Amino acid sequence: MKEKKKSIAILGSTGSIGTQALDVIRQHHDYFEVEVLTAQNNADLLIEQAIAFQPNVVVIANETLLEKVKTALSHQPIKVYGGDAALASVVQMESIDLVLTALVGYSGVLPTIKAIEAGKNIALANKETLVVAGALITKLAQEKGVNIYPVDSEHSAIFQCIVGEFHNKIEKIILTASGGPFRGKTREELQHVTKAQALKHPNWSMGAKVTIDSASLMNKGLEVIEAKWLFHLKPEQIEVVVHPQSIIHSLVQFEDSSIKAQLGLPDMRLPIQFAMTYPARFKCDFPRFNFAHYPSLTLEQPDTKTFRNLALAFQALEKGGNAPCVLNAANEIAVASFLKDEIGFLEMSYLVEQCLNEMSYIKEPRFEDYVETDTATRRKATEIIKNKK
């Protein structure tokens, strides 16, 4: 009897992760089928994807584009919805086997919660979900018996290293960072860098927000917080090293001192595919790593005095409660403002730190507290920027 295809919902199908996930599905169309596709603003690509993959449902979160998508798909057997409420609703559909959360930033939190409540396994590319509400999300996943499969290359590497080792105690994990386009620069040199320079990542092709986070090392800071929740670790069990070649994706050290690492060329399709096919590994045509092309792999300590966002993330993790939620909200405003040339590259860290120092602290937040913290922090960060003009 032919095996039933795994039914996938892709939240954020028009972004970098979403489009690469569809590449994986295209390669393995006998195994996967697309049930839901969603986008925020890119209606044209969403329409193109819907016609190609024939999902049951599409959602355009920006409701002003709803009629455009409806009209374009009016002759297709596809249901079309608009708005954030629809996004949070469709993830609960009974027909879905796996929800790939590839939304950017805080917008991924509520749909992920709703999917977990409905008992859906999660392939998580939206690190902010665990940064903002890690305690709530992991507790809910445990209660519902839901698996969260990491999609970030670093967390996928850790996951791949501990497969078969679940009974062995982790001493520490080592997350690798490329160092971004400004590795080795001084604070003086970073005073006047432009967004165009910051958007030129040396190894990875990502969306604008993640690329800026990578340049400032905030991306690694968010990954540190995410790793704490994914792998049930204490802050002191998480280390970061800079690895400019981006071949070693991360490492795990066990209590017998042995270290395991996962290596490969920088290609997000591999961690996406592993999250979607776990526990199987599927044959693919991804490019293969060749040691002859990389005679030297180097590792070095991150410069947290120059790139202060990484230190701020560790501080927020140590403090706990709603502090990581503050960190994330302030950073999202900082990055958006930098991309609009409203603040400089180094000012992003100052903004995040000021918000961490000034926002009210809640030790054991409920969901409503996360929502209020996010709103209030964005308001505070926006006021700080406005007052500096």
CA–CA separation, 19 and 279 (whole Å): 23
Which domains are assigned to the chain?
6-150 (3.40.50.720), 320-389 (1.10.1740.10)
Q: Of 338, 358, 356, whose CA–CA distance to 348 is shortest?
A: 338
Helix or strand or coil: residue 239?
A: strand
CA–CA separation, 177 and 163 (whole Å): 22
Q: Burial of 383 by CB count in 10 Å (0-12 exposed, 13-18 middle, 19+ buried)?
A: exposed
> What is the C-alpha R_g of the chain?
20
One pLDDT digit (tens) per residue for the chain, 389 residues: 457 899 999 999 999 999 999 999 999 999 999 999 999 999 999 999 999 999 999 999 999 999 999 999 999 999 999 999 999 999 999 999 999 999 987 888 999 999 999 999 999 998 889 999 999 999 999 999 999 999 999 999 999 999 999 899 999 999 999 998 899 999 999 998 888 898 887 665 667 888 899 899 999 999 999 999 999 999 999 999 999 999 999 999 999 999 999 999 999 999 999 999 999 999 999 999 999 999 999 999 999 999 999 999 999 999 999 999 999 999 999 999 999 999 999 999 999 999 999 999 999 999 999 999 999 999 999 999 988 76
Whether omega before 77 lies within 30 degrees of 0, making that bond cis, reads: no
224: tokens are 């540190």
- Give the pLDDT of residue 226: 96
CA–CA separation, 42 and 13 (whole Å): 9
- Give the pLDDT of residue 203: 66
CA–CA separation, 249 and 152 (whole Å): 10
Which segments of 218-280 does DSSP mark as H helices, in order? Answer: 218-230, 269-277
CA–CA separation, 190 and 85 (whole Å): 41
Task: Give the pTM.
Answer: 0.92
Cα-Cα end-to-end distance for the chain? 67
- β-bridge mates for residue 98, sequence order: 8, 121
On whether the CB atoms of residues 210 and 219 are closer than 8 A, the answer is: yes
Supply angle C-alpha 316, 320, 326, rounded to 5. Answer: 55
DSSP assignments along 20-65, one per residue: HHHHHHHHTTTTEEEEEEEESS-HHHHHHHHHHH--SEEEESSGGG
Sheet holding 98-101, edge to edge: 79-82, 57-60, 32-39, 6-11, 98-101, 121-124, 148-150
If you ran DSSP here, which 8-state letter would residue 172 be given?
A: E
CA–CA separation, 42 and 40 (whole Å): 6
What's the one-letter identity of residue 23?
D
